């Protein structure tokens, strides 16, 4: 498994947890707390946090691989985690 695969898998697990928790607690908790948690996880993974959105529940981040910078997105649905990436426009 590559470094990027490991990072994406880790972030996907963490984001899936946040999504499940948000579904249970959205009437009581501030989404800004979820953004802070996601930002910390992304930074710990060695990437740059861009944003976390509620609808759709999606994490946007930037990361580098072999000297190239990519825009990554992890989107959570009720049944799946979707990862997409494209080369960042400089």
pTM for this prediction: 0.93
**Which residues fall within 8 angstroms of residue 65, CB to CB, at 6 or more apart?**
2, 3, 4
**pLDDT of 88:** 87
Is pLDDT above 70 for 90? Answer: no
Chain segment 7-54, per-residue pLDDT in tens: 999 999 999 999 999 999 999 999 999 999 999 999 999 999 999 999
Of 85, 87, 86, the closest CA to residue 74 belongs to 85
**pLDDT of 78:** 84
**pLDDT of 47:** 96
**pLDDT of 73:** 97
């Amino acid at each position: 498994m590559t470094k990027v695969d490991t990072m994406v898998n880790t972030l996907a697990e963490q984001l899936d947890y946040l999504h499940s928790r948000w579904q249970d607690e959205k009437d009581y908790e501030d989404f800004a707390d979820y953004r802070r948690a996601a930002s910390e996880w992304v930074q710990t993974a060695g990437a740059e946090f861009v944003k976390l959105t509620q609808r759709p529940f999606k994490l946007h981040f930037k990361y580098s691989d072999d000297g190239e910078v990519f825009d990554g997105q992890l989107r959570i649905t009720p049944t799946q985690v979707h990862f997409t990436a494209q080369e960042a426009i400089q």
